[in-house]
A and B are shown apart, each in its own frame.
Chain A
Amino acid sequence: MKYLLCENPAAEGKNVVLSDMILTKDFPTTAGSRMLEGYMSLFDAEVVDRLKAAGYAIRGKANVGELTLGVLGENSYFGACAENGVLVDASVIALRETNAAAVIGLDASGTPRRGAALGGMVALKPTYGTISRFGTISMACSGEAVSVTARSVSDVRDTVNVLVGHDDKDGTSLPAEKCALVKTGDPSVSRVAIARELTASANAEMQAKVVAARVALEKSGVEVVEIDDSLLLAAKSAWNILMSAELCNNVSRYDGVKYGYRTKNYKTIDELYTGSRTEAFGELLKYAILFGSETLSTENYMKMYDKSLRVRRLVAERLAAIFSEFDALLLPVASKCAFTEEETRENVHLSYDEALYTAPASITGMPAITLCGVQLMGAAFSENKLYSLAEILEGGTK
């Protein structure tokens, strides 16, 4: 079980682990793919520069599912991380086995959020555009965000505050005054909504986690109200389409010519391209590419891709209406509390189903914090409110 794909034994003092979706010039970056096995970047990602400037050493690179696809990293070329057959996110094991303060990841399809909440850690996917994505391996650019996983809410907050800020090198980076809202936003909380249908769709054990979170919040004086969330269910299919379409384009650069894996069996350029990609990409990534490509076809563009962009707006408007009345939305992070290696082998695209719970935040770019099996979503720049609520859960449901 390889939870760190490479380790820096010289890392002393305060240190962090990076997901292998983040480029580093001193360590290989693989994105969990055979395509990039041994790949060395010529530069560090912006988040690495910021961490180093703040005095953090890089402890190592954590294993990830190929291009972050998958439920809990099960489709990494370098092998899944599992304990007694139950999948555990590599970031969670890294935090258990090392003294790293945090793991910096890339949240495109929810793995860091899912992994932390099911593995006894805390993860934050911040508001889109507040942490630079310069130097992260692109997967689904319109919704992915650098995420932070740590042992406690305060550790998450401390690390996020190092990373937040405008970056000229990232075309989607928000202005400095907007980024600063992540640190300075109002932390007061009084009302939380519960996503009724999303909660009902999870299994009994997961529903119990939501109930426990509700009880803890109410004990602290937070009013909790169940709301109609039926429109949010649409986020899953819409995000699966947008994510796959963007992924299909983002991985078109991997062709075995300038860098990465090259097949040994070719005579023509087409055989080089096809052989390299076919041999280097895993099963789920191939399906995601083909699915994404088809959603962009002449026949399906309006029906699927264009429709998804419109559904994205409806979901964002529904969430904005919710957050005009509530400080956050409480929902499960997954359909259940544990996933086995066997079930992800039998259903390699299980992560497309699990997007039901993580897609609302991914497709709208709104922040979400996960712990104790649940997820708290908030309006853009409401991270401080999410920290306040998460700290209540941290003390009340364990």
Chain B
Amino acid sequence: MDREVLRRLEKLNQLALTDAEKEAFLAFYAKQEREWEALSAIDTEAVERMVHVLPVYTVVREDTVIKKFEREDLQKGAPETMDGYWQVPRLVE
């Protein structure tokens, strides 16, 4: 991985690493990649993916509308609110 790919990853994940963190992450990534490459010799061509570890049982419940929480309760933990809305910087001028 080069610094340009890392820059793209940071932007995609809304993170900004320091220079020291960038170096440390690149070393970490290189190590993970080396370990994975050592395993790529395992033949998985005919192996089916295992997304769920146990058979999935679809949980079905009544499709009914319930009001479990009040708006003010839901916004109690919000950093900033105004007039019952979550407040963020202006997106459109």
| A128 lies within 8 A of B53 (CB) | yes
| B88 lies within 8 A of A348 (CB) | no
| B39 lies within 8 A of A311 (CB) | yes
Interface hits, B35-54 → A, CB 8 Å: 35-36, 38-40, 42, 44, 47-54
CA distance A274 to B9 in the complex (A): 12
- A75-114 interface bits toward B, Cβ cutoff 8 Å, 1 = contact, 0 = none: 0000000000000000000000000000000000000000
| A293 lies within 8 A of B77 (CB) | no
B contact residues, total (Cβ < 8 Å): 50
Asked whether any CB of chain B lies closer than 8 Å to the CB of A143, the reply is yes
| B54 lies within 8 A of A129 (CB) | yes
Nearest-Cβ distance from residue B57 to partner chain A, whole angstroms: 6
| A257 lies within 8 A of B88 (CB) | yes
| A314 lies within 8 A of B47 (CB) | yes
Residue of B49, B53, B57 most packed against chain A (CB within 10 A): B53
Query: B53's closest neighbor in chain A, by CB?
Result: A365
Asked whether any CB of chain A lies closer than 8 Å to the CB of B74, the reply is yes
Query: B20's closest neighbor in chain A, by CB?
Result: A283
Asked whether any CB of chain B lies closer than 8 Å to the CB of A262, the reply is yes
Asked whether any CB of chain A lies closer than 8 Å to the CB of B73, the reply is yes
Query: A266's closest neighbor in chain B, by CB?
Result: B89
CA distance A261 to B77 in the complex (A): 10
Residues of B within 8 A of A304 (CB): 36
CA distance A236 to B73 in the complex (A): 42
Query: A289's closest neighbor in chain B, by CB?
Result: B13
CA distance A171 to B77 in the complex (A): 26
- A281-322 interface bits toward B, Cβ cutoff 8 Å, 1 = contact, 0 = none: 101001101110110000000011011011111101000000
Interface hits, A346-360 → B, CB 8 Å: 348-349, 352
Report the contact-size class of chain A (Cβ under 8 Å from the partner).
35 or more
CA distance A234 to B36 in the complex (A): 9
| B9 lies within 8 A of A293 (CB) | yes
| A307 lies within 8 A of B44 (CB) | yes
Cross-chain contact of A287 among B28, B53, B59, B79 (Cβ < 8 A) = B28
- Which of A116-124, A172-180, A384-392 is the interface stretch? A172-180
Query: A270's closest neighbor in chain B, by CB?
Result: B14
- A217-239 interface bits toward B, Cβ cutoff 8 Å, 1 = contact, 0 = none: 00000000000000100101110
CA distance A94 to B73 in the complex (A): 32
**Contacts A269-B88, A272-B88; is A257 near B44 (CB within 8 Å)?**
no
Residues of A within 8 A of B59 (CB): 168, 170-171, 173
Residues of B within 8 A of A380 (CB): 54
Residues of A within 8 A of B13 (CB): 248, 252, 277, 289-290, 293
**Contacts A234-B39, A278-B16, A291-B29; is A40 near B53 (CB within 8 Å)?**
no
Residues of B within 8 A of A310 (CB): 44, 47-50
Residues of B within 8 A of A175 (CB): 57
Cross-chain contact of B74 among A42, A281, A291 (Cβ < 8 A) = A42
| A309 lies within 8 A of B9 (CB) | no
**Contacts A174-B54, A174-B57; is A237 near B15 (CB within 8 Å)?**
no
- A307-347 interface bits toward B, Cβ cutoff 8 Å, 1 = contact, 0 = none: 10111111010000000000000000000000000000000
15 A-B residue contacts at CB 8 Å? A42-B69, A142-B53, A171-B59, A172-B52, A237-B38, A257-B78, A258-B86, A262-B79, A272-B89, A274-B16, A290-B13, A309-B50, A311-B42, A312-B53, A314-B47
Starting from the known contacts A237-B39, A275-B16, A278-B14, 14 additional A-B residue pairs (CB-CB under 8 Å) come to A40-B76, A170-B59, A171-B58, A261-B79, A286-B25, A287-B24, A287-B28, A310-B47, A313-B48, A314-B42, A316-B50, A365-B54, A366-B53, A380-B54
